[in-house]
Amino acid sequence: MAQTPQFERPCDAAIKLKEALEEALLHAPNDVELRKHYFSHLAKLAESSIGLFQARLPEIPTPLYFRGGTSDIANMRQIFQDGKLNIPLERVPQRILDLGGYTGYAAVFLATRFPTAHILTVEPMPANFRVLALNTLPYRRILPLSAAVGRQSGRLRILGTHDADWGFMLAETQENGPGTVISYSVPDLLQLRGWDRVDLMKCDIEGFEATLFADVSASWIRVVDTLVIETHDHMMPGCSTAVAACFPEAEYVHTLRGEYHVYERRLETNPPSEAAELITHPLPPIVLVHSGPDCVPLRLTNVAFGSNGFFLFEDIGFQLLPNPPGSAPAQAIFSVVGQGQTRFSATIAHAGVASEDIVFRVLVRRVADGALLLDSARRVLPGARGEWHERLPRMDGAHEVVLQTEMAPGAQSNHAAYARWLEPRFY
């Protein structure tokens, strides 16, 4: 029987070349020409194919999804090739509000640049939001919201798009039906996130900034420390003027970085508590337990595998059940690479009320010479929990971290000894 001939679609060959370029970039992440070639190839793939594709960049630990036939690659290129958001800032932001999230590339870039920051990214268009949700899913500090931002919470009317998928324009309306999207005011967005101020607001909302910033007396403007905004005077005359009026020169330094206007609160206008928190180059925390990007190798020893011997609590911690009294301690052993961290912190909890005391212990050993940097223990009563903070010598290079639990001296049983490590980290 004759076999059916196998045909290769043009996009199959393009995807193979894409993967080859990604492998090359992994080994030469600073090759500018190779990076340009890679993004040019992605653009050709997007122009000639329909579907959902992945881009893999050496500095981003997760794939970035993009759609063929859309403006996704143009936006990705702005952020990850042209460095559109690589703007010098006086402050390290911890609360970032991303207005006009599109497909999440800005949020992922900011989450990678500021790994301790919490980010609320807001995008009203459903098709864009689906890709945004996919791109930001691995980052537990990014909260995506399918909505627009308005002067009041309610609905906004979709006027149409002026420039592909990233150019949808909105307007205020009293309608509530097809052709409208839900919107939240900035105060309601902050309340949703539990914030009383915004360290960094990134705003790219296709001309609606003329409406959002129309009231210079709006109270929420006073709690924004840094605004990075693209204004669209060619679409809505007066945008730049409206924004500038909200951030007076006496309080904010105004600079122009490419297409973005940057308004940073002057240091001398900061309350002392905020000024004291200014850091130029923060150390990235080593988070031992998460379900996001990056890999932390784990080895379990002397652990009773089963329903409660070891399991994760969402992505913030784990239970490590102690073995019966007199047995070897249960251990979770992590391999980490330090970059100068000098502090350990965790919350430890004994969730078994009808039990006996548990001893929690942490050991940190440098791999290069076997030096023990930290060996400390805490005894926890049934039903109790507490914060644990330790200083240790500077961690540089490969280290082995042991978190262990065992029953306290004199204990008769490990019944209901629900020992829990929550948010263990180094910083």
pLDDT exceeds 70 at position 179: yes
| Position 280 confidence tier, pLDDT thresholds 50, 70, 90 | very low
Question: Is this model's pTM higher than 0.85 or not?
Answer: no
CATH fold match for the domains 84-275 and 286-426: no
pLDDT at 162: 59
The owner of tokens 């008769």 is 412
> pLDDT at residue 72 above 90?
yes
List, in order, residues 6 or more apart from 405 with CB less than 8 Å away.
320, 321, 322, 329, 330, 358, 359, 360, 361, 417, 419
Q: What is the mean pLDDT of the chain?
A: 90
Whether residue 122 has pLDDT greater than 80? yes
Q: What percent of the chain has pLDDT over 90?
A: 77
What kind of fold does domain 286-426 have according to CATH? Jelly Rolls (2.60.120)
Q: How far is CA 385 from the centre of its chain?
A: 28
CA dist., res. 144 & res. 114, Å (int): 17
Strands 419-426 and 330-350: antiparallel
Residue 405 has pLDDT above 50, yes or no: yes
Query: What CATH architecture applies to the domain 84-275?
Result: 3-Layer(aba) Sandwich (3.40)
- pLDDT exceeds cutoff 80 at 161: no
Per-residue pLDDT band for 305 (boundaries 50, 70, 90) equals low
pLDDT at 388 over 90: yes
What pLDDT, on the 0 to 100 scale, is given for residue 1? Answer: 53
Question: What whole-number distance in Å separates Cα of residue 76 and Cα of residue 293?
Answer: 19
Write phi, then psi, for 143 (nearest 5 degrees).
-110, 110
**pLDDT surpasses 70 at 10:** no
Average pLDDT over residues 77-97: 94
b/e per residue 349-360 (b: at least 16 CB within 10 A): bbebeebbbbbb
- Who wins on pLDDT, 269 or 61? 61
pLDDT at position 295 is 80
Q: What is the dihedral of CA 260, 130, 140, 121, to 10 degrees?
A: 30
The amino acid occupying position 282 is: P
Looking at the predicted structure, is the pLDDT value of residue 272 above 50?
A: no
Low-confidence winner among 97-111, 170-184, 388-402 (lowest mean pLDDT): 170-184
Give the per-residue pLDDT at 174.
Answer: 83
Domain ranges of the chain: 10-76, 84-275, 286-426
The pLDDT of residue 91: 87
pLDDT of residue 206: 86
Condensed to tens digits (0 to 9), the pLDDT of residues 50-70 reads 999 999 999 998 999 999 999
Tokens at residue 258, please?
A: 């490419």
Query: For residue 279, what pLDDT is reported?
Result: 41
Least trusted range by pLDDT, from 38-52, 104-118, 163-177, 266-280 = 266-280
